[in-house]
Amino acid sequence: MNKKKGLLLVGLVGLAGLFFALDLGRCFGLEQAQAAQADFARLYAARPALVVGGFFAIYVAVTALSLPGAAIMTLVAGAIFGLWVGLVVVSFASSLGALLAMLFARYVLRDAVKARFGARLADIDRGIEREGAFYLFTLRLVPLFPFFVVNLLMGLTAIKARTYYVVSQLGMLAGTAVFVNAGTQLAQISSLQGVLSPGIVGSFVLLGMFPLLAKKLVDAVKARRVYAAWAHKRPRRFDRNMVVIGAGAAGLVTSYIAAAVKAQVTLVENHKMGGDCLNYGCVPSKALIKTATLARQMRHSADYGIARAEYSLDFAQVMERIAHVVREIEPHDSPERYRGLGVDVQIGTAKIVDPWHVQITAADGQVQVLSTRSIVIATGARPFVPPLPGLDDVGYLTSDTLWGLREQPRRLVVLGGGPIGCELAQSFARLGSQVTQVEMAPRIMIREDEDVSAYARQALEADGVQVLTGHKALRCEKVGEGKFIVVEADGQEKRIAFDVLLCAVGRVARLSGFGLEELGIPAQRTVATDEYLRTPFPNILAAGDVAGPYQFTHVAAHQAWYAAVNGLFGDFKKFKADYRVIPWATFIDPEVARVGLNEQDAKAQGVAYEVTRYGMADLDRAIADSAAHGWVKVLTVPGKDKILGATIVGAHAGDLLAEYVLAMKHGLGLNKILGTIHTYPTMAEANKYAAGEWKRAHQPLQLLRWVERFHAWRRG
């Protein structure tokens, strides 16, 4: 808070303090108002403009400073000016005072609140932008909510001043009219409770409920309008409660939850159960990483006291092991298992023909159409293949087609510096391929902090990967039997020879072929959904990679709960998808894992933070495992132990992160982690030691000086 704001706050607090110190509140008592009613009336008759102007100014000041007395002044307005003049004067004065109070709060407090709670405030601002006027109007209608609290809290948001004034004036009009009208009979009022009788308060509550009911009605009308062109297709009875399209993580979990609550659910998959994660992504890549790590450890066996370890790599056998791992896990996601759980599993191609019917075409050409109350789109994503000239001529692999390799590429070019590209580049280099990684951005793993990106690059280069950042792929060329990719950096072109080109530049949602276009459901990068994962047709939802905003298996499974519950019970109760605590990891060596904000995110969002860092080089277990590299970096609210985010670089970082995910999810700070017993010697102690570093940086130095004197006194 700057000096000007501080002085203004001190001035406002001083005025309020003076008000109470001088007991000026007695001037706004009911008895005083009744006693002075006749004098006010005579003065108004003699000097109407002066009285109206003075009353208006005082009313604005009282409400702007959030002082008690507005209710009595409203009664006095009715007694002096009568119903209509009093209503006009009080309506404008109260609205102007409320606006000033809101602007004071915004000017003095918003920046400080934003600095500490930037991410949360940004979410609130987005909600205010969408429906702030509606909710403010509801609050203004119900006098149970103290208006000065509304002014203060709304000042912390980004609601527009004009909107705030207009909505306040309209929303407070009914309550103002009641008080002004009561004021016309001021002499007969014995207490303010008599004005706000239980009946009147109940009426206001019902009035405040009206906008909410109206919103429900409007939503119903909008839904009816969306369905209008298809209304004749709606069946009287339904074959299923839910049809789920796609048997990846999102589809599997959605159908499992639906079956668990005894809904009739059909799951449709046109290729392989388990989706990309089981068949092409998480599972096979981690199996590859394990073998590559073992090969690296054997080459560096001297680090573990073994002078020489010999091995012979059979690449085909490595890839067969990966296929075996996939087959071992396949039963977890098999049609037989899910049928046993109560899910009707159909292998075939699904197409939404209208909001309540899904056509399923089996491999043998048989077609069936199921009617269903709700539909969940969980079709996942596929690798993005850049439109490089000559790419088809030289041929390429993606993370989907890579696993069919049985001959090790001697020269491998990996296009892309994200998590997938980095994991595969390092693994193939460790297995003995000559790997060149091309990334257009200035650094690999661009979503991580710069120190993390630099460390990851160092690790990849230590394993033999040639990392070319700031290089843009221009085209591919084939000269005789030779294959080349041409890249450009700093205006200079460079030709890189390769045997295999792996495209790992990202993934795009599967959006076509199952009826979105025919229904008119918006789908650009992902299927357009609201915060409840609903498309413009409320009974059609989307979850997983096809819905975004994250492309993680665990997020897809997380979204599946919302898709299942909102799809089955959304007519009665809906739940907004919660993305506040999302962890992720990149399984290079050393691993990189993160949850919440990192430094570059915090700076971009304007969130104030402190950094606590603990180096793995000091951790006993890491030293014993010859893995004493990396760090734990925790971002906290300045001066507090509340965790804003954590980044871990090192062995088993993905596992170590779970403690921070739990802490952030349940609002536990670093003091709680510090006070928790961690098994010795384990890598998990790094989290406790990081908390200890924070504690040391926030020691109560003055208290410790007094304690030192106390101990000196005790020694004599």
Residue 599 lies in a domain: yes
Among residues 640, 549, 609, which one has the least CA distance to residue 118?
A: 609
Amino acid, single-letter form, for residue 646: A
pLDDT at position 36, please? 58
Question: What six digits make up the tokens of 561?
Answer: 């709960």
* Residue with the larger pLDDT of the pair 342 and 130: 342
* Burial per residue of 57-74, b for 16 or more beta-carbon CB atoms within 10 angstroms, e otherwise: eebbebbbbbbebbbbbb
Cα separations (Å) of 243 from 325, 412, 480, 515? Answer: 30, 42, 52, 14
Domain count, the chain: 4
Under DSSP, is residue 360 helix (H, G, I), strand (E, B) or coil?
A: strand
Q: Both 85 and 200 in a single domain?
A: yes
Same domain for 490 and 398 = yes
CATH number of the domain that 662 lies in? 3.30.390.30
**Does residue 219 lie within any of the structural domains?**
no
Residues 498, 516 within the same domain: no
Residue indicated by tokens 């948001």: 157
> Taken in order 70, 72, 78, 79, is the CA torsion positive or negative?
negative
Domain shared by 493 and 524, yes or no? no
Residue with tokens 């076509």: 512
Assign 65 a pLDDT band (cuts: 50, 70, 90).
confident
Q: Residues 235, 239, 240, 246: is their CA dihedral positive or negative?
A: negative
The whole-number pLDDT of residue 11 equals 64
Residues 51 and 95 in one domain: yes
Is 69 a residue whose pLDDT tops 60? yes
Q: Does 522 or 467 have the greater pLDDT score?
A: 467
Cis peptide before 383 (omega within 30 of 0): no
Is 223 part of a structural domain of the chain? no
The mean predicted confidence, pLDDT, of the chain is: 87
What are the phi and psi torsion angles at 454 (to 5°)?
-65, -40
The answer to whether residues 194 and 256 belong to one domain is no
For residues 315 and 448, state if they share a domain. Answer: no
Residue 280: phi, psi to the nearest 5? -135, -15
Radius of gyration for the alpha carbons in the chain, expressed in angstroms and rounded: 33
Question: Domain range spanning residue 428?
Answer: 391-506
Question: 585 lies in a domain?
Answer: no
Specify if 230 maps to a domain. no
Tell me whether residue 715 is in a domain.
no
**Within-domain flag for 35:** yes
Same domain for 147 and 75: yes
Q: What is the reported pLDDT for 424?
A: 98
Q: Are residues 21 and 54 in the same domain?
A: yes
Q: What is the DSSP string of 247-286?
A: -SHHHHHHHHHHHHTT--EEEEESS-TTHHHHHTSHHHHH
Higher-pLDDT residue of 548, 11: 548
Please check whether residues 140 and 82 belong to one and the same domain: yes
The reply to whether 272 and 305 lie within a common domain is yes
Does any domain span residue 712? Answer: no
Tell me, yes or no, whether 30 and 168 share the same domain: yes
pLDDT above 90 covers what percent of the chain?
Answer: 63
Q: What is the CATH number of the domain that holds 402?
A: 3.50.50.60
In 10 A of CB 617, how many CB atoms? 12
Question: Which spans in 350-480 are helix H?
Answer: 391-394, 419-430, 450-462
> Which residues pair with residue 542 across a beta bridge?
377
* pLDDT tens sequence across 669-689: 999 999 999 999 999 999 999
